[in-house]
Chain A
Amino acid sequence: MRSPAATMEHQTVKAGSAVPVASAPTLIRLRGISKSYAGVPALSDVSVTFQAGEVHAILGENGAGKSTLMNIIAGAQQPDAGEIEFAGRRVVSMTPETAAALGIAISYQHPAVLDDLSVMENLRVALPAHLFAGRPAREVAQEILQTMALDVPLQARGDTLTVAQKQLLEIAKALAIRPKVLILDEPTASLDQDSTDILFRRIREVVQSGTSVIYITHRMAELRQIAHRVTVLRDGRVQGSALVAEVTDQDLLGMIVGRTLGSTFPPKASPNVADVVLKVTELSGRRFHNVSFEVARGQILGVAGVAGNGQTELMRALAGLQPAAGTVVLNGRTLAPHDLRHRAAFMPSDRHTEGLAAGLSARENAAVASLQKFAFSGLVSRRREVAAVSAAFGALAVKAASIEAPVLSLSGGNQQKVVMARALLSEPELIVADEPTQGVDVGARAEIYRILREVSAKGTPVIVNSSDATELEGLCDKVIVLSRGHVVETLTGTDVVEARIVAAAVSAETHAAHSIPRAAPHSKWRHIVQTDNAPTLPLALVILALALFGYSKNPNYLSAFNLTNILTLSTALGFFALGQTIPLLLGGIDLSVGPLAGFLVVVASFFINEGQSTGAIVAGFVLMAVGALAAGTINGLLIRFANFTPIAATLAMYIAIQGCSFLLRDGPGGYINSDVVAAINAQIGPVPVAFFMLLAMAILGEVGLRRLRSGWRLRATGSDEDVARRIGVPVDRTIVLGYIGTALLTALGAVMLMAQIGVGDPRQGVNYTLSSITAVVLGGTSLRGGRGTFLGTVLGALLLTEVLNIVAFIGLSQTYQYVFQGALILLATVVYSTVRGRAAMQDE
């Protein structure tokens, strides 16, 4: 099985490890760690020590508590009880920051790689600055990538990487800080043989230099290759620790299996049934390949394997929810996989995201798939619906206050029964149950097994995916075991026992070599199309072409007067749009930009008047800044700490600020000091000085966005909040500061607006909310967050102003002003989303 070279390496490790293992200093000591989620214990009284200079593997079945343990060591979660000791000193509270300071690095099973940031930026936002000090950053970054032989351009965006490449990047990041403790959570799940070999070489190197490596795995073969010591977890408890060299596979298997499951199973089907009701042949799709099996009448088929080996995808394909190739014969009819969508009933593993509609009642949830059956000519008969749902709930023994109870008020087990009731009411030809007892209490489990058995006995084939091998042993007549998307074992009859299932899953040695292809070489052109600033050039060309068109219609269009006019107008809009770019980058929105601008002008109109002292005028400007600061802070705090959506928070702010403006003035009044106006409108040639300031601001912002940590944090937060938090970005602070930044930029725009209208008018400014959003979108910033450009925003503002101006200039009616504006924004959005969509699709 293993190549001679690997065997040799294996032996060297063994030989080398024999000496340091005994005397190595303890680096981390866990004592009595317990942790439960909503009353369900994930870890109970776990005590382990991790020594410097060795690889300590943590082995266990799905749900044994491995990932929880890692999260506790990395500070991502706090234990309910127990203590952590690091190098002999007790750590009072382990947070991600403390962990990082102590030199604990973690490579997550789901890589914390941000899709909207480049490889370079992903490295720089996650790694401490001192790593990049003193040398060109590109050089450092290249070195980091080379440690894992990852060959991708530094400017490649995260979303262009394959899963394997992301995993390599994740590992390289963890290695880069030269950690004292390196935690690797299932690192090889998506790696091919070459990458796995490189990883193992690196692990041996860091171990040599004294690092303690904690290696989580499901695979016994890997354990033999790399680990010195192994600890087995089962049901959140330590089953035992041993030196790898001194323990046999049999012993380890014995420690892994034997989960206690406090429920009974219904009797199985008679083994001698030849009547095949479901026959699946050579089914292939994303993450699973050439899966074939047969289900006889009355049989329940189990799908087993280590989590993430294609079971979920197979289940979705069997329910017709995911594209797949192959043939399916169901009840004698040959079907294409997508035909299953309306014949199969799917019970998803994640009840809350895909199973139940949280806001609806138990009845509504149960009835949703079979409304047509209760209806006469489109009208649902309440009597029939209630009767059918009540009958189904009765048969499944659903416990609820009434059938109208909100579905979330039910217990987990009863929620799952509602999902089953929905499946049964739709009278399916096939039931696909993904983790049907996940989060279900013991009593309800037995009932769910009973129901599945009854359904199957009536001739509807049932397929169950479970990460719990004991459950499969008790429930299923036949089990297929998947590893990396391939069926590695088919167990039937008396072979369906936990030990056989687990052995097949953890001993499989198939590697991902052929399942995950390397990405095509990244072309230079694609990276240009992919950059956030890609829209600037076409936008500039459109602006130029439009200007020439205006000139051809009327030579005065490019006169100094009109140029100044356009640039002055676009400067105010430009500042508002720059401000609006920040929340959009964060994946939010600020509707209060317009009213805030108007309000600040009204405030100014009390101080910055003719004949006021310099002090009063300065006070006016200061008050504008203070007002903006207050508005931005309130927006940010409402969104982050009061659980308002950005729309709701800034909408309330919109209305409130407008009220404040009217409170200060009920009509236009307070003429602005003409010297101040003149100063603001100062020009160099036909170009207003302020426009240069706008450009400078945009360029500064652009540089900050690409080169400064705060810029990366901003984009990281907008790109994926959870990942950003995992890599140590202070998400709350970033967002609050972002909204404050918006308000301050709005204040700059308000200064321009003040010079334009020259008077405090509570009715002015409001329209800038929508036009600022329009300008930002024209500029190419995505509303999904994470991607955007300040430079594009300025061009967007310029283009919008130009369009409005040209319509008036060549004598078209206002109709065209609106039509052009609308067509422009829709066209831009469609173009941007197709370009991005296509670029993203190339990787599928």
Chain B
Amino acid sequence: MNNNTKKGLFQPQLIRDALWQSVLKLDPRQMFRNPVMFTVEIGTAIMLVVTILSMRSGADVATLGNPGYNFVIFILLFLTVLFANFAEAFAEARGKAQAESLRKTRKDTPARLLLDGGTTTTVSSSDLRRGDRFVCEAGDIIPTDGEIIEGLATIDESAITGESAPVIREAGGDKSSVTGGTKVLSDRIVASVTVQPGESFLDKMIALVEGASRQKTPNEIALTILLAGFTLVFVIVCITLKPFADYANTPISIAAYVSLFVCLIPTTIGGLLSAIGIAGMDRALRANVITKSGKAVETAGDIDVLLLDKTGTITIGNRRATNFYATEGTHRDDVIRSSVLSSLADETPEGKSIVELASPELVKELSIEGATLIKFTAETRTSGVNLADGTRIRKGAQDTIRQLVERAGNAFPEDIAKEIKYISSNGGTPLAVTVNEKVVGAIELQDIIKPGISERFERLRKMGIKTVMVTGDNPLTAKFIAQKAGVDDFIAEAKPEDKMEYIKKEQQEGRLVAMMGDGTNDAPALAQADVGVAMNSGTQAAKEAGNMVDLDNDPTKLIEVVEIGKQLLMTRGTLTTFSIANDVAKYFAIVPALFMASIPALQHLNIMRLYSPESAILSAVIFNALIIPALIPLALKGVEYKPIGASAMLRRNLFIYGLGGIVVPFLGIKLIDLLVTMFF
């Protein structure tokens, strides 16, 4: 993981930046986006005017009040606005710092631009344009994001992922992407530039965090409306209070009106709202996931169905060939030879593992001079070779092979069919091998399920998310692994369009679907899914199609992304509850304070026994201001999500933030009142 996470929440440099930003954010044009805090700013401006007016000699003390007191209220309101701005600025600064530390890895580096003639010329990485081709050799830093079009290399991606083990990237497959700032350790590659300078996903994300292109997410808009509604209720309460007070012959100072208003409107959540949203994207980034919009994070929290590739997610790495079986009358070595020959054109790891399983001596003596290689594709699900002598060797999934064999008029041998069933029922994947459309044997591939994965699925199930395993295996194998790993459903013998269909079907039934993918043929499904996470190692098409990019290439990352999304919504919900529940105590502090002098009967409402009307109002305003910075850590870290079911979660949060929201300000205001009275 990234080194930044080890540092504390508050770094001095970030705080300094954020402080300055919070002053700049006082600009009313910016404040206007946040209706709650904007009204506080207006209140602050009113108090400034009142303070100045009350300082003039001969001012009307009854309505304008004591200048010193007015000034203190003005300062407190000003601080309230500043604290709210600081929360937002600080969240921005943290997100930016995180993104910058990733971007630093891709400062200007020399790049070797490949010219049309095949020669190279050294240019700065910032001069590279989309479509340019560059060359990297062992020891070079890759200048910018690109896609390998030629060659293979081991690459150290630790600068991005924090993972020290080198990875292999090569042309053609689904692992053809290289990232700027990573280092080539061996071999030579030619890559094509895929992004314009300043337009990489990271650049987009930084712009998102900085606020320039940050758009409010649907839930954030709905919540802002709710908060604006509550603010309006208190506008009504405070305006009507004036004639009420006149009727009751109670003069109320402007400072008291403004204080009452600011204390009642939901400043706590209003001040922290945008910080919570930014922190969500930031937390995603800390998990090494680049999000293309805030909405994607929010949607992740709503996911109902999770599509996971079996390979790499549920099972460790790839299936490996573990055994060869021969049909009656065929020598095992012949089966191995045919298997190897047919796998030469199979670039998948399974294909390679077949070659590796066969003994090197056997492989060495094979020749494919004049042969035609038939490449493995996901559609045909077979690969093979037509030898120079006309022998046709194929290997592939048993059902495809069965079709092939039966179309040629040959029977599928009983003993191999039995073996295949046996392999499948043990969770292995059987492949059949044919020579001239006659089955000669079978290959067993085996999967190893990742330790701890079934606990993660259990957790997802508790969160209400259905997990679906996508695999090219036959249904029997798929079922075995699905059961063993504990997924809810599986798509066996999956072709790329199957994923797409499954997603569409679930979406038609109203569910939200997330998937992770890397290949170009995943791109349509990634685009169709409500949350599509592309692996950074994947093809450019996949990365463009998804709405998140995972820098770690970790397929289980989806689980974390979902939790981040849920935390984001929960933090908003709980802080809204807390903020509104706070008002109960504030009413009991301020309302008696307003009327105690002229209506002594109402002192019974002063249940906190606050010292005086002035100290009561002051304490409420101070509490109201201080609660914002006090909750910044919670807003940034997010409320902890526990998969205990929605009702239990609601009970828990209602208890902590609802009941807590009522109790805490009673204690807080009383405590502040005790401190404040020392100055009276």
A binds B: no
Interface residues of A (CB under 8 A from B): none
